[in-house]
Structure formats: structure tokens, C-alpha cells
């Protein structure tokens, strides 16, 4: 059993839809290989990957709030990327995230929870796609399981492999 699923391995050659640039990524993205950068705000990402994509920032762009953990989840994120007319999703986060950057993101997570709390996610346009529930899911993830997932991701970044069950994980 592996603790870290490498979703980019599940892509194989299917990377054509991922043309987003790291320097354009939205700050709301959770650390990992996938991210939303300059995506269109036509709100199609959640139709394909509702457990992974939210909308936010100045232009309500799409971003990844939960990294895929299975090949099926990765396929849904590929579909979300393919539906973006700007092809603004990226899948090269592993080449850019460093352990220090992940830890810095974690230390600054209050910025994200404040942002999520300050918006009115119950507006009619949002309700159709269950945005308020997804925002609660993201906040719950930040308060719960995300720390463990990031520690596993840190191991992946530092060691280049999934940690074995019971293996000591890096601190955040």
C-alpha cells in the first residue's frame, strides 16, 4: 500500500490540456502537482471534478482545492482541464513546489480560510453547483486531513517516493 498517489503518472501522455503557467497560478490552490492558473471563469471545472475544483480570486478563476488520490479522480481533473477554453490548468506543480514553499503555504493558510469566510457562497449562481458545500468541504479539509496529506506530499518531494506505512513523515 502506498500513501502517496502520483496523479501525474495516471496522465500518461494526456497532458495537452495542461498549459497553465506556474507563475500565473491562483494562490488558493492547494500544494500538489495540479493547479489552476489563468483559467476561464465560465465555471465548468466543478461539473467534471466537483471534489477537486472551486472558483475564486479576483476573476473567479478555477483552482484545485484537493489533489486527486486515484486514477479516476485524476481523469476527472483532466476533463475539467480539457473543458477550460483557456487551457489554464497546470500539472507541473511537483517541479515548482519545494518543501519550504509547502510549509510557507501551510503557515499562511489563514489567508485562505479568511477569504472563504468573507464571500457569500449562497448566492443563486453559486447554489446551482453546490459551491457553499464545497467551500465548507475545503475549510474542513484545511482544518482536518490536509495537514496529513501535505506531510505525505512533503515526503514525496524530499524523497522522490511515497512513504511506507508507519514511516516517519516530515513536519509542516
Q: What angle do CA 3, 148, 52 make, to 5 degrees?
A: 80
Q: What is the mean pLDDT of the chain?
A: 92
119 vs 25, which has greater pLDDT?
25
DSSP 62-84: EEESS---SHHHHHHHHHHHHH-
**pTM beyond cutoff 0.85:** yes
**121 confidence band (pLDDT: 50, 70, 90):** confident
Res. 11: pLDDT tops 90: no
| Average pLDDT rounded to a whole number, residues 119-146 | 84
100 vs 44, which has greater pLDDT?
100
* Cell numbers for 134: 464545497
Are 33 and 8 spatial neighbours (Cβ–Cβ below 8 Å)?
Answer: yes
The structural domains of the chain, with segments of one domain joined by +, span: 7-159
d(CA 164, CA 4): 9
**124 confidence band (pLDDT: 50, 70, 90):** low
d(CA 172, CA 169): 9
Give the tens place of pLDDT for each residue, 22-74.
Answer: 999 999 999 999 999 999 878 889 999 999 999 998 888 999 999 999 999 99
Amino acid at each position: 500500500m502506498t500513501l502517496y498517489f502520483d496523479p501525474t503518472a495516471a496522465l500518461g501522455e494526456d497532458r495537452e490540456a495542461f498549459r497553465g503557467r506556474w507563475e500565473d497560478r491562483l494562490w488558493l490552490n492547494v500544494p500538489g502537482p495540479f493547479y489552476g492558473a489563468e483559467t476561464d471563469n465560465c465555471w465548468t471545472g466543478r461539473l467534471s471534478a466537483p471534489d477537486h475544483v472551486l472558483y475564486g480570486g479576483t476573476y473567479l478563476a478555477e483552482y484545485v482545492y484537493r489533489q486527486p488520490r486515484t486514477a479516476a479522480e485524476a481523469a476527472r481533473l483532466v476533463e475539467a482541464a480539457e473543458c477550460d477554453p483557456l487551457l489554464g490548468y497546470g500539472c507541473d506543480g511537483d517541479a515548482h513546489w519545494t518543501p519550504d514553499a509547502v510549509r510557507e503555504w501551510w503557515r499562511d493558510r489563514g489567508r485562505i480560510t479568511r477569504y472563504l469566510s468573507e464571500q457569500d457562497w449562497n448566492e443563486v449562481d453559486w447554489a446551482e453547483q453546490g459551491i457553499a458545500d464545497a467551500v465548507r468541504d475545503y475549510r474542513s479539509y484545511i482544518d482536518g486531513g490536509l495537514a496529513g496529506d501535505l506531510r505525505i506530499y512533503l515526503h514525496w518531494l524530499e524523497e522522490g517516493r511515497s512513504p511506507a506505512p508507519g514511516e516517519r513523515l516530515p513536519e509542516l
